[in-house]
């Protein structure tokens, strides 16, 4: 891990934010690219937020990228470019919660700040014999209190890192290796033979299925993109216009008639169907998003939405921060496996001479 053992609050901060909900292996290349582009706090604070979101692209949870940028500007402006050392001032920065504040304070400054994340949560629950749900409010209160009692006054950074490693390598979720554990003699769960019951398994979150149509609209070789607005998923990123669907698509032609109408009502644009690309599904937090992907030709009308919309080429689009599903859509349009010019030409013909472009395989 390139950030391990580095007492640089900027590097600790970036790595900890990236590691939220993402594995170490997945984070390493993003971390290295991000550091090459924004090697220090001042370069991040001075960057355009769109560039920061571009560097964040693929990690998901884009609000984290925006918060990084805002926090860097606040540290430059209000703390003379120096990271605060104490947990309270760290927690006042956007996107920094109690764990991240404790990690920065202890790893970078050796402040005696407690931490509680997935690994230490499990270790502390077993060490203290806490049998309730560690993710509940009561569980969090109990385990943070435990973390405060055990964090040492000196070398808190090494201590906290060691506990994370203990959870990752020895006190693993299933069949912890208690016979190799250096703290087995202190562990209440082990003494009671309850190491496999603590913590109790978590309830799986209910997954909500979402169906959407996404419309790639072309006009004179350019495509309509809109910037997603504050409060929307992936705010600040660029996307093709989307229309919600009530369920999986049954008939392409019937669905397009409905979509055409709803697009006209919501955006003021009339369009003609060129082709449909294979559907695409992906997960975002507790949502499973199923995308029906339409390629359409602009026919008439003007973009009526307040939300920023632009007509851009595919090459220009490649430079914009895009949600992962959009990046894939753009890649598919750049490498179509069908003849887009012939297909767009076709929709300009009188209706009776048209035949829908064959669906790409």
Stretch of residues binding ligand SF4 (CB under 6 A), selected from 63-71, 73-81, 152-160, 180-188: 180-188
Contact 111, 130 (CB under 8 A): no
Q: How many residues does the chain have?
A: 361
Asked whether position 62 contacts ligand SF4 by CB under 6 A, the answer is no
118 versus 235: smaller Cβ distance to ligand SF4: 118
Distance linking the first and last C-alpha atoms of the chain: 41
How far apart (Å, rounded) are the C-alpha atoms in residues 283 and 285? 6
Catalytic residue of the set 16, 57, 117, 255: 16
Dihedral class, residue 275 (left if φ above 0, else alpha if ψ from -120 to 50, else beta): beta
Single residue of 66, 126, 228, 242 touching ligand SF4 by CB under 6 A: 126
**Residue 16 designated active-site:** yes
Site for ligand SF4 contains 134 (CB under 6 A): no
Provide the minimum distance between the beta carbon of 194 and ligand SF4 in the complex, in angstroms, as a whole number. Answer: 9
User: By CB under 6 A, which span of 68-76, 137-145, 147-155, 169-177 interacts with ligand SF4?
Assistant: 169-177
Site string for ligand SF4, 189-228 (x = CB under 6 A): xx----x---------------------------------
- Cα 244 to Cα 268: distance, rounded to the nearest angstrom: 17
Q: Is 164 in the site for ligand SF4 (CB under 6 A)?
A: no
Sequence-distant (≥ 6) Cβ neighbours of residue 146 within 8 angstroms: 124, 127, 128, 130
Among the listed residues 170, 210, 264, 312, the single contact to ligand SF4 using CB under 6 A? 170
Among 219, 226, 209, which Cα is nearest to 267's? 226
Token couple for 225 = 């993109």
Note whether 151 and 113 are within 8 A (CB): yes
Q: Which is nearer to ligand SF4, 178 or 312 (CB)?
A: 178
Tell the smallest beta-carbon distance from residue 4 to ligand SF4 (Å): 22
- Site membership for ligand SF4, residue 127 (CB under 6 A): yes
The yes or no reply on residue 178 touching ligand SF4 (CB under 6 A) is: yes
Helix (H, G, I), strand (E, B) or coil at 22: coil
- Looking up tokens 């753009």, which residue turns up? 330
Q: Does 13 bind ligand SF4 (CB under 6 A)?
A: no
Q: Helix %, strand %, coil % for the chain, to 5?
A: 45, 15, 40
Residues that bind ligand SF4 (CB under 6 A): 123, 126-127, 170-171, 176-178, 181, 183-184, 187, 189-190, 195
Active site residues: 16
């Amino acid at each position: 891990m390139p950030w391990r053992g580095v007492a640089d609050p900027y590097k600790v901060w970036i790595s900890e934010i990236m590691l939220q909900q993402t594995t170490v292996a997945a984070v390493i290349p993003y971390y290295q690219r991000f550091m090459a582009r924004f090697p220090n706090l001042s370069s991040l604070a001075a960057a355009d937020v769109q560039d920061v979101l571009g560097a964040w692209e693929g990690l998901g949870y884009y609000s984290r990228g925006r918060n990084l940028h805002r926090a860097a500007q606040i540290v430059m402006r209000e703390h003379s470019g120096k990271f605060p050392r104490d947990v309270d001032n760290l927690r006042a920065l956007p996107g920094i919660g109690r764990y991240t504040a404790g990690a920065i304070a202890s790893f970078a400054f050796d402040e005696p700040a407690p931490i509680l994340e997935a690994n230490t949560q499990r270790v502390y629950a077993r060490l203290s014999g806490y049998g309730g749900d560690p993710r509940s409010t009561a569980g969090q209160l109990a385990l943070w209190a435990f973390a405060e009692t055990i964090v040492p006054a000196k070398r808190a950074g090494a201590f906290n890192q060691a506990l994370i490693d203990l959870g990752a390598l020895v006190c693993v979720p299933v069949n912890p290796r208690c016979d190799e554990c250096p703290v087995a003699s202190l562990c209440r769960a082990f003494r009671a033979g309850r190491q496999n019951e603590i913590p109790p398994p978590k309830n799986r979150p209910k997954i909500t299925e979402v169906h959407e149509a996404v419309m790639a609209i072309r006009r004179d070789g350019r495509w309509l993109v809109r910037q997603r607005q504050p409060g929307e998923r992936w705010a600040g990123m660029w996307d093709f216009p989307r229309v919600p669907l009530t369920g999986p698509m049954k008939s392409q032609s019937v669905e397009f008639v409905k979509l055409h109408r709803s697009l006209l009502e919501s955006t003021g644009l009339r369009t003609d169907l060129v082709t449909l690309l294979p559907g695409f599904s992906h997960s975002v937090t507790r949502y499973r998003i199923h995308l029906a992907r339409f390629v359409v030709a602009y026919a008439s009308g003007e973009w009526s939405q307040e939300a920023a919309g632009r007509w851009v080429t595919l090459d220009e689009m490649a430079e914009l921060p895009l949600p992962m599903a959009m990046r894939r859509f753009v890649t598919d349009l750049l490498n179509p496996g069908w003849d887009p010019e012939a297909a767009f030409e076709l929709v300009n013909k009188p209706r009776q001479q048209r035949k829908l472009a064959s669906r790409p395989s």
